[in-house]
Amino acid sequence: MLNTRCSAHKHYLFAGLLAAVIASPVGAQTGLVASDQRVMEIVESRCALCHGREGVSSSPIYPRLAAQHPDYLFKQLQDFRDKRRKSDTMGDMVKDLKDEEFRGLVAWFSSRKPAFRQQSDTELADVGKYIFNKGNSFAGVPACASCHGPKGYGTQQLPRLAGQHPAYLESQLKDFGDRERTNDNAVMHSVASKLTALETHAVAVYIGGLQ
C-alpha cells in the first residue's frame, strides 16, 4: 500500500512539473506533452549514460543538466536536432524526438537538485573569481557575472553555470573562442576569444565551485 502511494505521489509530482513547463514560454507552444513514462524511458535509455539519471554527470566531459533553465535546455535540444549546434553524438540522440518529448525532458532535468564541487586550487580560483566578477578591462573582457549573474545562475535564455564541470566549461569556452561552437556564438566568441589559456582555466575552476 505504501509503495502504491509513493508511486502515485511521484506520478502527480512529475505531472505537476510537466504542467509548469506547459505554462512557461517553452510549454506555451501547441502540441501535447509526452507522458511521464515516455520521458523516463528516454532519460534512462539515452540521457543517463552520459548525463546521469538526475542530471549530475560523473564524467567531466559531459555537462551537468540538473537545475538548468528549461527554456535554455529546450533550445539546445532543438538546436542539436535541427543541426544548428554541431554534435554527432547529441544529434543522433535527439534526431527522432519531438518538441513535446523535449518539454518532458527539460521538466525532469530542470527540477533535479544541482551539484557542485570543491575548488581544488584556491589561488587559481581567485584569478577566476576576479575575471568572473570584474572581467579584464585591459583585454576588453566583460565580467561573466554581468550576463550570468553574480552566482552563475543565469537566466531563462542564458545557461546556469554554477557547479558545472570545469573541464566542460573550459572546452566550451575554447570552442566559442575558435568558433567551433556553432550556436549562441555571436556574443560568446567576442568574450572567449580574448581570454588567455590561464584565464579560461581559472574561470572554469571558479565557476565549478559555485553553488
The rounded distance, in Å, linking the Cα atoms of 4 and 10 is 10
- φ/ψ (deg, to 5) at 153: -85, -15
Report the mean per-residue pLDDT for the chain.
88
Q: Where in the chain is the domain with CATH 1.10.760.10?
A: 2-110, 122-208
Query: 206 by DSSP, 3-state: which?
Result: helix
- What pLDDT score was predicted for residue 1? 43
pLDDT tens per residue across span 191-205:
999 999 999 999 999
The rounded distance, in Å, linking the Cα atoms of 100 and 104 is 7
Checking if the pLDDT of 11 tops 90, the result is no
Cβ neighbours around 156 below 10 Å, total? 13
Q: Which of 114, 87, 107, 54 is nearest to 183 (CA)?
A: 87
pLDDT tens per residue across span 151-181:
999 999 999 999 999 999 999 999 999 999 9
Cell of 199: 584565464
33: confidence class by pLDDT, cuts 50, 70, 90? low
Domain 122-208 has CATH 1.10.760.10: yes
Cell 535527439: give the residue: 94
The topology under which CATH files domain 2-110 is Cytochrome Bc1 Complex; Chain D, domain 2 (1.10.760)
81 versus 3: the higher-pLDDT residue is: 81
DSSP letter at 47 equals I
